[in-house]
Amino acid sequence: MLVNLQIATEKLKKGEVVGIPTETVYGLAATIYKEDALKKIFQTKKRPNFDPLIIHISNLDQLEDIFLEVTPAMKILMERFWPGPLTLISKKKETISSLITAELDTVAVRMPDHEKTLKIINKVGPVAAPSANMFKKTSPTRAKHVLENFEHKVSVYDGGDCDVGIESTIIELSGNKIYLYRKGKITKENLQTSLPGFTIEEKTSPAAPGQMKDHYQPNKPLYIFNSIEEKNNFSEHGIELTLTQDSGLSARMLYKNLIDLSQGPVEFIYFIRSKYPKDELWEAIYERLEKASSQVP
């Protein structure tokens, strides 16, 4: 059911999970201070415990109880991109639950750029909040998606449609390197401009969420074709996932369109990659499409 700010806050303080809006996607939130609440995230999403969670904060003072250290380089990124769709991974304080970090000694943190959710966190304290969908399924960008995902059994605070539409960029700083674990709206160019003395290396890590090869999957198979000709050689009939030439708008539309198409009377969804341009945000969109796709039979 949909709940207001007061009820959402009360439920989180009691140790319940609540669907909350962010600028990226809706999250399934629980206070970081109650183990039973954190367990409910994994149980509700059917998410394995080896997949770490992202902590969401509302002010920098809250980092004192989370990160072991905040370096000058980290401060530069926080000042430029927080609140916003950038997640930083760093060494954690011992008091942070191992449920959040999947037994690792690092933790992922971000400050969401959403006024309603910042109000909640100001009242409740930091929350862990992975995307509010069943594990490996398409992320929700509307409150109704969250309600449908959990058959109306989870309370949701409606903050409208998500402005960014895809998950945050995830990075970790080490020495003079930026390790990029997940692409998003904050691009390599943005990071390089902010920290010109650093080099950027793309890699995977168990410390970062969303590292599975199959993820974000709609309820119908999604096939990716490199060209119209390649699609025309495929005899089956499906429905096309269409986006715009604008990467920002397409990111915002991506999950909504996938969810809408998968609810229709179609056998499969297809996407033709050659129709769209190439830039860094498009790379983030393509990355999610590839993880959401099935092998063409």
pLDDT digits (tens, 9 = 90+) for 11-63: 999 999 999 999 999 999 999 999 999 999 999 999 999 999 999 999 999 99
Residues contacting residue 193 through CB under 8 Å, at least 6 positions apart: none
Domains of the chain: residue spans and CATH: 2-202 (3.90.870.10), 222-292 (no CATH)
What separation in angstroms does the CA of 252 have from each of 70, 162, 182?
31, 7, 17
CA–CA gap between residue 72 and residue 287 (Å, rounded)? 31
Greatest alpha-carbon span in the chain:
58
The string of pLDDT tens digits covering residues 109-154 is: 999 999 999 999 999 999 999 999 999 999 999 999 999 999 999 9
Q: What per-residue confidence (pLDDT) applies to 150?
A: 96
In the DSSP assignment, the letter for residue 239 is: E
Q: What per-residue confidence (pLDDT) applies to 207?
A: 66
Q: What per-residue confidence (pLDDT) applies to 15?
A: 98
Inter-residue contact 168 to 175 (CB < 8 Å): no
- Region 217-244 average pLDDT: 90
89 strand-pairing partners: 108, 172
Q: What per-residue confidence (pLDDT) applies to 212?
A: 65
The string of pLDDT tens digits covering residues 252-275 is: 999 999 999 999 888 999 999 999
Which residue reads 């037994």 in tokens? Answer: 103
Residue ranges in 183-293 assigned as alpha helix (H): 188-194, 228-232, 247-262, 280-292
Report residue 183 as tokens.
Answer: 């692409």
- Region 183-202 average pLDDT: 97
When the pLDDT of each residue in the chain is averaged and rounded to a whole number, the result is 95
The string of pLDDT tens digits covering residues 154-169 is: 999 999 999 999 999 9
